[in-house]
Amino acid sequence: MEIPYTVSTRPDTGLWNAKIGIWLFLASEVMLFGALFSAYIFLRIDAAPGTWPHGLLNVPVGTMNTAILILSSVTVVLAWAALKMRRYRAYWWYMLATITCGVIFLTVKLAYEWPQKFEHFGAYIKPEALAKYEQYLGNERRIEKGFEPRIEITGHLHSQNAKEYEVALDPVNADPDNPVMDRPHFFPLPVTDKIATIEKADVQRATMFLPTHSAYFASYFTITGLHGLHVLGGVIVFIYMWLPVSKKLYQRNPEHLANRVEVSGLFWHFVDLVWIFVFPLFYLL
């Protein structure tokens, strides 16, 4: 059975069907990510002073991933243009470049960024015990300067027993009165070898950097996780269009393949577009 309007345009809309289909799908995607972003805004505005973390993510790695995604948006549109010019070889290479970019993006996220967070530890100190840990928090100076007080001690969990945590401190807690620590660093500073002993009785909540750590990490893992699933979906579709099966379609009807690449490209650009907002909101601000 011949499916109508896969290549030619409908006389009433001036569009081929898949194009309307993808835009309706993208409209639903805008609502999906819109709901998550509005939840993010809500949680952030409602966060108590000092509870919204800054500078916990690796900015150079995030910047690199942003550049990779932008590069893949360029290569996918070039792949489509190559098909329009009937240059299959160029299309094949551009598509391979797009797939590679998508795979690098996912690998960096899943094999480097996320596991690094899972290994990091944070202990929120009870308000009445904050003064006891002043040497790690530096709140007297911060309050004097008009900054939000620090309420969490972070680093790598060295060891723990029934009563205490031993934490290899992050630089921000190892040297809290250093003005350099007032703002996040572009290149993340490694965990120091200074060990702090924190009594469990003084801790309000202690966890690794998981979604349960804070509203920040809950929204970070939810939004970047859903975004990552979209990247994975795009890569799978692109792999199909790169395999020899698509060459057969190209030989039969090149415009049909060009249209398929266009709609999957539209999806890919949308994924890029979402990341354009995710990157500054979670990594930089």
Interface with other proteins (CB under 8 A), residue from 56, 57, 78, 237: 78
266 makes contact with other proteins (CB under 8 A): yes
Euclidean distance between CA atoms 246 and 234, whole angstroms: 16
Interface with other proteins (CB under 8 A), residue from 98, 125, 272, 282: 272
139 makes contact with other proteins (CB under 8 A): no
Torsion angle (degrees, nearest 10) of CA 176, 181, 183, 186:
-140
Closest approach, Cβ 180 to other proteins, in A, equals 13
Size of the site for other proteins (CB under 8 A): 48
273 makes contact with other proteins (CB under 8 A): yes
Closest to other proteins by CB, 235 vs 278, is: 278
- Give the residue among 231, 249, 269, 261 at the shortest CA–CA distance from 110: 231
Which residue matches tokens 């973390």? Answer: 53
Residues forming beta bridges with residue 205, ordered by sequence position: 124
Euclidean distance between CA atoms 13 and 76, whole angstroms: 26
Euclidean distance between CA atoms 47 and 96, whole angstroms: 43
Residue 230 one-letter amino acid: H
Tokens, residue 147: 């900054």
Residue 111 backbone phi and psi in degrees, to 5: -100, -15
4 makes contact with other proteins (CB under 8 A): no
249 makes contact with other proteins (CB under 8 A): no
Closest approach, Cβ 143 to other proteins, in A, equals 17
Interface with other proteins (CB under 8 A), residue from 205, 240, 248, 277: 277
Euclidean distance between CA atoms 8 and 74, whole angstroms: 26
In three-state secondary structure terms, 164 is strand
37-76 residues near other proteins, rule: CB under 8 A: 38, 41-42, 45-46, 59, 63, 66-67, 70-71, 73-74
Residues that bind other proteins (CB under 8 A): 13-15, 19-20, 23-24, 27, 30-31, 34-35, 38, 41-42, 45-46, 59, 63, 66-67, 70-71, 73-74, 77-78, 81, 84-86, 183, 186, 254-255, 265-266, 269-270, 272-273, 276-277, 279-281, 284-285
